[in-house]
Chain A
Amino acid sequence: MGCEPLIDPHTIATLNSAFAGLKTSEFRGEARVIVPRELIYPVLTALRDKLAFDFLSDITCVDYLNYRGAEDRFGLVYLLASTGTNERLNLRVFLNEPDLSVRSAVPLWEGANWMEREVWDMFGIRFEGHPDLRRILLPDEFTAFPLRKDYPLQGRGERHNFPVLHRATS
């Protein structure tokens, strides 16, 4: 176990022949494909329909602000799995301000709905075509995106913006 490849080389080759501009790398058997933003929806469609990646494991995001050697601000991460061939694939889309939007994957996987809502909630990345892009964890009136690295850990006073009850009022 351990270093057993999680990806079939044929999958990467098929992807590279079908789409131009993908950057692929491999580390300890795990494949990572860097996808331009415009291509993410076609790539996801091809992976699902032609290469049997039938399971969207997760969508998440990384903020690379002040990160060593990073050129882009946000890295949107798609983790895909194939229940048929047991492959796993890591897709990454780099995004920069001010244009933080990407096409929603909800038409492909219904399960992307809440994952994209969470990424929107925490990082403020907009998913075009999402049926219901609301905050999922934080209150609706929250205005910031707290997992961005330029948001202070202790917040901007949101946690203490409440009425004080004392005995006369309660």
Chain B
Amino acid sequence: MAVDLPENVVVSKLDSLANWCRKNSLWPMPFATACCGIELMATGASRHDLARFGAEVFRFSPRQCDLMIVAGRVVMKMLPVLQRIWQQMPEPKWCISMGACASTGGVFDTYCVVQGIDRFLPVDMYVPGCPPRPEQLIQSIIDLQDQIQQGGTLSGREFQTRARQQPKRALIELPIVSVPHATSRPPQGTMLRS
């Protein structure tokens, strides 16, 4: 079946058109809690210029954003806030976990720091580094744009798959190191030199 089309008409799928629009207008929600936030600001500033990739409009209201960039460590007091901000963002939305602390807790293996936000939130892209260079963050945004273009759908079916409903990692807590109680004899190994 031959259809005569004028030269300025392109045939595509509606999904593809939606993806093309979405990927080039990601509005980031900067959830910057630590030094990764400084690199995040550098990414948006003129030297690295995130505007080249259509993601320069940082909004501080989650209701106007569709890309959450978690930059920095998240403590247990902050996590309910983070989850609430995520729930306030309209679909379709994506999440980048920027840096070692947001992805794994980093060096902060303590009682108050969440060991990776992906234990409690769906994360689409991880950026390694401590902190990552702005180029790495830009690369992750480009990768996310590719992912949106390839796998996205107009209705958001890709978010409803079985794999997406699972938490990314099993919640395995390291065994708690037992600490000698106050009444017991102090172990020699922890004594200072006398």
Residues of chain A at the chain B interface (Cβ within 8 Å): 65-68, 73, 97, 138-139, 146, 149-168, 170
- CA A164 to CA B180, docked complex, whole Å: 33
Task: State whether B87 touches A165 (Cβ < 8 A).
Answer: yes
Residue in B110, B114, B120, B186 whose beta carbon sits within 8 Å of that of A66 in the complex: B186
Tell me if B52 counts as interface (CB < 8 A to partner A).
no
Residues of B within 8 A of A139 (CB): 76-77
User: How many A-B residue contacts, CB cutoff 8 Å?
Assistant: 97
The interface residues of chain A lying within 8 Å CB-to-CB of B165 are 166-168
B164 touches A151 (CB 8 A): no
Question: B160: CB under 8 A from chain A?
Answer: yes
Beyond known contacts A159-B112, A160-B173, A166-B122: 20 more, CB 8 A cutoff:
A66-B190, A66-B191, A68-B192, A97-B182, A150-B180, A150-B182, A151-B111, A153-B109, A156-B111, A158-B76, A159-B115, A160-B114, A162-B114, A162-B120, A163-B120, A164-B119, A165-B120, A165-B121, A168-B160, A170-B86
> Across the interface, do B83 and A159 meet the contact criterion of CB distance under 8 Å?
no
Whether B83 pairs with A165 at a CB distance below 8 angstroms is yes
The digit string for B143-185, where 1 denotes a CB below 8 A from any CB of A, is: 0000000000000000110001111000101101111111000
- For A168, give the chain B residue with the smallest CB separation: B165
* In the bound complex, CA of A58 to CA of B121 (Å): 39
Nearest CB of A to B90, in Å: 11
Contacts of B166 in A (CB 8 A): 166
What's the least CB distance linking B147 to chain A, in Å? Answer: 15
The distance in angstroms between the C-alpha atoms of A91 and B133, with both chains bound, is 47
User: Could you tell me if B179 and A149 are in contact, using CB atoms closer than 8 angstroms?
Assistant: yes
Q: Chain B residues with Cβ under 8 A from A170's Cβ?
A: 86-87, 121-122
Q: How far is the CB of B60 from chain A (nearest CB, A)?
A: 20
A168 and B181 alpha carbons, distance in the complex (Å): 44
State the majority secondary structure of interface residues on B. loop
B113 within 8 A of A: yes
- A-B contacts, 13 of them at CB < 8 A, read A66-B190, A66-B191, A68-B191, A68-B192, A154-B177, A160-B115, A162-B120, A164-B119, A164-B167, A165-B86, A165-B121, A166-B166, A168-B160
Contact with B83, one of A138, A163, A167 (Cβ below 8 angstroms) = A163
Let me know if A166 and B164 touch, CB within 8 A. Answer: yes
B66, chain A: closest CB distance, angstroms: 13
Interface mask (B73-86 → A, CB under 8 Å = 1, otherwise 0): 00011011001001
The answer for the CA separation of A68 and B188 in the assembled complex, in Å, is 10
Q: Which of A68, A73, A160, A168 contacts B119 (CB 8 A)?
A: A160
* CA A166 to CA B169, docked complex, whole Å: 12
Minimum CB–CB distance from A163 to chain B (whole Å) comes to: 7
A166-B109 contact, Cβ under 8 Å, with A68-B194, A160-B114, A160-B173: no
Q: Which residues of A contact B171 (CB under 8 A)?
A: 160, 164
**6 tightest CB-CB pairs across the interface, nearest first?**
A155-B111, A66-B186, A167-B164, A167-B159, A159-B76, A68-B192
Cβ-defined partner of B111 (8 Å) among A149, A152, A165: A152
